[in-house]
Amino acid sequence: MLRLLKNPTFTLFFFGNIISLIGFGFHMIAISWMVLEKTGSEFALGKIMASATAPGLFLALFAGVIIDKANRKWLLVNLDIFRMIVIIGFLIIMSFYDFKLWFIYPVAILMGLGNSLFWPTAQAFVQELVSKQDYFNANKLLSASYQVGSIIGAGLGGFIVHLYDPLTALWINVLCYFVSGILIGLAPFQQKKQETDKESLINAISKGFTFLKDKFDILTLGLTTILSDVAIWGSLSVLTITISKEIFNKGSWGYGLMEGLYGVGALFSTIFVGYMVTKLGRGYSLTVCYLIAGIMCFIVPLMSSIYFAAGAFFFMGLKNNSARIIVRTIFMENIPNLLMGRVQTIFGVYTRLMVVLSSLLSGWIIENQSIIKAVNFTTLHFLFALMGTIIVIYVWQRSNNIFRENLS
């Protein structure tokens, strides 16, 4: 796995991605804490999180064509610059005016546009950089970069907000995007020859749908396993900071602790997942992962201290990210690179729609029902992923079983 880091292009992208994600971690906790402190409304926070995701519904299908036809290295650099400019603009406004909730909405929407392009571009870029036999190890390293970024971003971000203020965290966010753009921009990269035909946008998009229509197993796996990520990006994005504040009375640093330990668990998954798949195989590994992640989610508010709750987040991260690595590897093995962006962003439309609904419902349940009911709602995400995976295993054992591919 580490031999991939001898590739200078992969290495510069790897560290650039980590720094970009550190910035995103600072951004998330700064915006979340600002909204919750100023409004006291979990539903308002849910609407902000939904507005950050909603732009992807409009952009996602077009993003697939952009990703598949653009120079992915320079697309990543430009997206770092774009997000940096958005945050600087917000900070300038905040230096002249008092906080207003509506200031956050354009920031969330524009950042959502940038993020909805950056993450699938990064995935397709990695597939372009490495050979097929290195997909599993590349996915483990890519996942490690996400988790290291999450650990540092969430952990340090929580303490910076606690010690200083959210605006200081956002200035660090700006610096991270700047450094990330420089590192990725320095990566030596020669773009592979792309399609040269002048197909229409509609035809280009339809290729992704045509591929999935003929790949029922990939379609089913995507729609099923996405729900576990929806729990993390949707409901828990609202719920975690509320649990820290309302149940454990720990504020922003408690949020940083739980998010940070989720990232630590996810980082350990890059080591753990290979051993688990060797012993259990892909299908049963996914089943175990979703079962344990759901249990850990359910018990978080029942813990006697923030530290035990953070421990549950550790195991949630360990299992949920192990499942994500397995699924991404299956995608890389079975989706042609020239179609990867289009197929990933089709799934992205579904993901973002679910995240919007999950964020809004979670915020509404917290504000109008209870935190416990919102946790139960979040746990259902993992249970649906579990049930769907079991169904998929049953079907695939009688057809083309891509679960049986060797991940080593």
DSSP calls for 335-387: S-HHHHHHHHHHHHHHHHHHHHHHHHHHHHHHHHT-HHHHHHHHHHHHHHHHH
Q: Report yes or no on 3 lying in a domain.
A: no
Q: What is the DSSP string of 117-172?
A: HHHHHHHHHHHHHS-GGGHHHHHHHHHHHHHHHHHHHHHHHHHHHHHS-HHHHHHH
- Spatial distance between the Cα atoms of 70 and 159, rounded to a whole number of angstroms: 38
Residue 179: its pLDDT value, please?
95
| Res 94 pLDDT > 60 | yes
> What average pLDDT is seen over the chain?
81
Q: What is the pTM of this model?
A: 0.72
Region of 249 please: left (phi>0), alpha (psi -120 to 50) or beta. left
Outline where 187-234 has alpha helix (H): 201-213, 216-230
Q: Report yes or no on 192 lying in a domain.
A: no
Residue 151: its pLDDT value, please?
73
| Res 331 pLDDT > 70 | yes
Give me the number of domains the chain comprises.
Answer: 1
Q: Report yes or no on 329 lying in a domain.
A: yes
Q: Report the percentage of the chain scoring pLDDT > 90.
A: 17
Two tokens, residue 402: 């891509």
Q: Report the percentage of the chain scoring pLDDT > 70.
A: 89
Query: Using an 8 Å Cβ cutoff, are 191 and 16 in contact?
Result: no
Amino acid at 87: I
Residues 37-56: tens digit of each pLDDT = 888 777 887 788 777 777 76
SS3 303: coil
Q: Report yes or no on 1 lying in a domain.
A: no
pLDDT band at 404 (very low <50, low <70, confident <90, very high): low
| Res 342 pLDDT > 50 | yes
- How many CB atoms lie under 10 A from the CB of residue 3? 8
Residue 408: its pLDDT value, please?
41
- How many CB atoms lie under 10 A from the CB of residue 190? 8
pLDDT band at 325 (very low <50, low <70, confident <90, very high): confident
Q: Report yes or no on 258 lying in a domain.
A: yes
Q: Report yes or no on 408 lying in a domain.
A: no
Q: Which domain holds residue 96?
A: 11-187+203-398
Residue 296: its pLDDT value, please?
94
Residue 406: its pLDDT value, please?
47
Residue 191: its pLDDT value, please?
63
Mean pLDDT of 69-81: 87
DSSP 192: P
pLDDT band at 263 (very low <50, low <70, confident <90, very high): confident
Residue 298: its pLDDT value, please?
93
Query: Using an 8 Å Cβ cutoff, are 253 and 159 in contact?
Result: yes
| Res 194 pLDDT > 70 | no
Residues 125-153: tens digit of each pLDDT = 877 777 777 777 777 777 777 777 877 88
Two tokens, residue 191: 């773009």
Residue 114: its pLDDT value, please?
87
| Res 67 pLDDT > 90 | no
Q: Report yes or no on 151 lying in a domain.
A: yes
Lowest mean pLDDT among 276-285, 295-304, 370-379: 276-285
Query: Using an 8 Å Cβ cutoff, are 255 and 155 in contact?
Result: no
Mean pLDDT of 387-394: 78
Q: Of 74-78, 82-86, 326-330, which has the strongest mean pLDDT?
A: 82-86
Q: Report yes or no on 260 lying in a domain.
A: yes
The CATH number given to whatever domain includes residue 260 is 1.20.1250.20
